[in-house]
Amino acid sequence: MNRKQIAIIGGGIAGLTAAYYLQKEIEEKQLPYQVKLFEASNQVGGKIRTERKNGYVIERGPDSFLIRKESATRLAKEVGLEQDLVKNGTGQSYILVNNKLHKMPSGSFMGIPTEVRPFLFSSIFSVKGKLRAAGDFVLPKGPEATDQSLGKFFRRRFGDELVENLVEPLLSGIYAGDIDDLSLMATFPNFYQLEREHTSLVKGLQKTMPKKKKTKGPKPSMFYTLRNGLQSLVEALEEKINAGVIEKNVAVDHIEKKENSYHLLLGNGEVFKAHSIVLATPFFATQRMLSQYSFVDDFKKMGATSVANVALAFDQTAIKNDIDGTGFVVSRNNDYRITACTWTHKKWPETAAPEGKALLRCYLGRPLDEGVVDLSDEEIVAIAMKDLNKIMNITDQPEFAVITRWKDSMPQYSVGHKERIDLITDEMARHLPGVYLAGSSYRGIGIPDCIDQGEAAVQKVLTYLK
Ligand code: FAD
């Protein structure tokens, strides 16, 4: 039988998800299609990478996924990892403001208060800052807008202090971007809707957030990881995908449209003919593969920031001033170069470190300080140790350090992002039928968002080929 070929380009979580669910549909419905996944590097998983060393589980990229967005949990269960799902420890988290650690006020959602008291008594803000933030209760709605920056939107409602001391450091932890450049509509469109419907964001959140049960126990976990690290999801997927589907060390350099198919020009000089394609690659790779189409030029307007992280392993006795909590984020008005630190052995007490050991994971790299990523390993460890010692008193050098650099790896959803992606998607439907985008450059950066996009691409491919 002459089977139609489906090519998936990129073996990160979006591409692997597409390959897995396509294979499942093809087998269940006995469809006459064949799948091939091309991955440029020598391993699949993309940003998801775990280092297992001396009993530690060290994440080089993401360490968890949101439970609330169900697709990642569903996929983990599908591939047999239900028993390995582990919830995060829910200890106190902190924020570093004016060179001091402060408790994160309880009842905040991405830094926006849902309860007034914890903010009123928080040491993070001055009286003036608190009064300005209370403006949210009385200020009118902003003008209707197609898009605006997160910074502009939140500064208008709450003033600069709440934004800079709380919202910005929390959001930069996710997007590694500049809050005054990041798109509201591509990241948190629900905040815009809340303002339209309730005017005050605080009141809107109070009305719409699920009510917390007033129990005494620990607060509920929001994240899952996997016992042996998130890479085990990648490994399980790879194992389930039939032999011969995944081609590693084969980059796709260019895509040409022919009469009844697409020709993929591969890095090894060969040509692969496909009837439908899922582009699960970062935006700049997608732009290069389709460079003859001017509508992908919009991708040149997109940026990607570089970040690094360093995991430092210690004996717990080396940490003299051990703080009870799971970690902290750093606001910009500090003399710190790290942007956050997770006390990994406390966030993941069951999995991250062996008994009696501590694993601290520091993050570096922010707009205007991306150069830090290019420093040597020794320099990065020294920066992290110097910053940690301002608050923690660590007497020994780490037993070992694992440093990971992610160059140009965090796609930036700047103002207008959603419209740009919608436009490119429309143009692709006209000029390149059967070719679909999926992954973190496009419609959501978190692991569940990438999985959702992989699954959505599967349905589009199947509808197109029918
Ligand atoms: P990628 O993982 O980037 O995969 C793309 C793949 O395409 C790569 O393997 C690449 O080699 C391949 N490729 C590129 N060009 C070509 C080509 N021409 N031909 C063939 N293959 C090609 N998300 C969370 O939900 N929770 C977290 O805790 C979290 N933390 C993070 C921490 C860090 C340090 C980073 C960097 C990201 C984090 N994220 C987190 C985000 C999340 O990990 C990523 O958005 C997601 O894994 C990206 O998946 P992807 O499939 O879209 O792309």
pLDDT, tens only, 88-104: 988 889 999 988 999 99
The closest residue, in CA terms, to atom 29 on ligand 1 is 62
pLDDT of 215 = 62
What's the pTM? 0.96
Question: Which ligand 1 atom is the nearest neighbour of the CA of 411?
Answer: 45
pLDDT of 30 = 97
Q: Of 81, 171, 205, 241, which Cα lies nearest the Cα of 413?
A: 171
> Mean pLDDT over all residues of the chain?
94
Q: How far apart are CA 319 and CA 325, in angstroms?
A: 14
Given a contact cutoff of 8 angstroms between Cβ atoms, the answer to whether 310 and 384 are in contact is: yes
Instruction: Name the pairing type of β-strands 33-38 and 4-9.
Output: parallel
> Does 385 have pLDDT greater than 80?
yes
How many angstroms from the chain centroid is the CA of residue 198?
Answer: 29
Q: How far apart are CA 180 and CA 192, in angstroms?
A: 16
> Does 214 have pLDDT greater than 70?
no
pLDDT of 282 = 98
Residue 20 CA to ligand 1 center (angstroms) comes to 17
Q: How far apart are CA 63 and CA 49, in angstroms?
A: 9
Tokens of 417: 């992002």
pLDDT of 109 = 86
Whether the ipTM is more than 0.90: the answer is yes
Residues 249-304 have pLDDT tens digits of 999 999 999 998 999 999 999 999 999 999 999 999 999 999 999 999 999 989 99
- Is the CB of residue 447 below 6 angstroms from any atom belonging to ligand 1? yes
Q: How far apart are CA 301 and CA 415, in angstroms?
A: 11
Distances, alpha carbon 331 to alpha carbons 100, 170, 231, 335, 338, in Å: 10, 9, 30, 10, 10
The closest residue, in CA terms, to atom 13 on ligand 1 is 10
Percent of the chain with pLDDT over 70: 98
Residues 167-209 have pLDDT tens digits of 999 988 888 889 999 999 999 999 999 999 999 999 999 999 8
Question: Which ligand 1 atom is the nearest neighbour of the CA of 404?
Answer: 34
Sheet holding 357-364, edge to edge: 100-103, 93-97, 327-330, 338-343, 357-364, 304-315, 400-411
The closest residue, in CA terms, to atom 4 on ligand 1 is 12
Angle at 96 between CA 356 and CA 194, to 5 degrees: 110
